[in-house]
Amino acid sequence: MQRYEILRSIATELDHGEVTFPTNALVALKLQHALGDPDCHADTATRLIKAEPLLSAKVVALANSTVFNPSGRPITDVRTAVLRLGFRYLRSLAAAVVTRQLAVPLSATDRELAARLWEHTAHVAALAQIIARKVTHLDPETAMFAGIVHEVGGFYLISRAAEYPGLLDEDFSAWNETGEAELGRALLKVLGVPQAVVDAIEVCWAGYLAMPPTTLGDTLLLADELAPVESPLRDLDGIPREGTAAAIDMLIGEETLVEILQESAEDVRSLAAALRL
């Protein structure tokens, strides 16, 4: 079966709802649904989070990041972390667990690929949050959420690679041309991602960066370009790329983008570290 056909087959399965989530991802999905209920109480969210150790650790870590805890006074329990973050950021963390756990690869090579992809994802999510807050003046939580789920198709591709030997070999142009968008759209639909976020991710897939950035799509794509760790899946088409991050700068008010990011470097580092799974 040709690679294009494999991608179409997997995307068709997803369109039909044929996706199986690992146990810990199911807990995170349950939390996402609960948080969407306007009557959900903090105690309910806390109980659900405690049922998943990885999610519990991430909630406390994010609440202790410099963005949410500038005083540096340690938060050591889940309930206090829940109250500090609020439900919207908790939904982003739940999405992070679901996204990362989609890839449960068996081989050492695939484990390394998934780890590198999540490192890239964590940096993009952190940068998107900062850029939205300080540059494009959009909702930082939505920007971080978009960064968390923008590579969801890639994680699912890795999870299915063992079924198709050679799928992730070099010169896989089908992924960057159409596959990423096909699988991504199908999974974002399964996960119930809001259309505004899907539209932003579409901008990221298209790769057309508007300067100066103003939209959520611009915010996400700029974060993707500036991330110090590139997605390993970009290498699948075999086309060498020159780094563009160092060349991206612009005037934002009385400061430049580079100056703003330099001032925010600790916030980005702290957020990215908290999002690592």
Q: What is the C-alpha radius of gyration for the chain, rounded to an integer number of angstroms?
A: 18
246 Cβ neighbours under 8 A, 6+ residues apart = none
pTM of full prediction above 0.85:
no
pLDDT digits 0-9 by tens, 6-35: 878 877 887 776 676 666 677 778 887 787
Q: What is the mean pLDDT of residues 29-48?
A: 84
How far is CA 80 from each of CA 13, 17, 39, 220, rounded to the nearest angstrom? 41, 36, 19, 30
Confidence of residue 103 (pLDDT cuts 50, 70, 90): low
Q: pLDDT at position 201, please?
A: 94
Q: 188-199, pLDDT tens digit by residue? A: 887 778 889 999
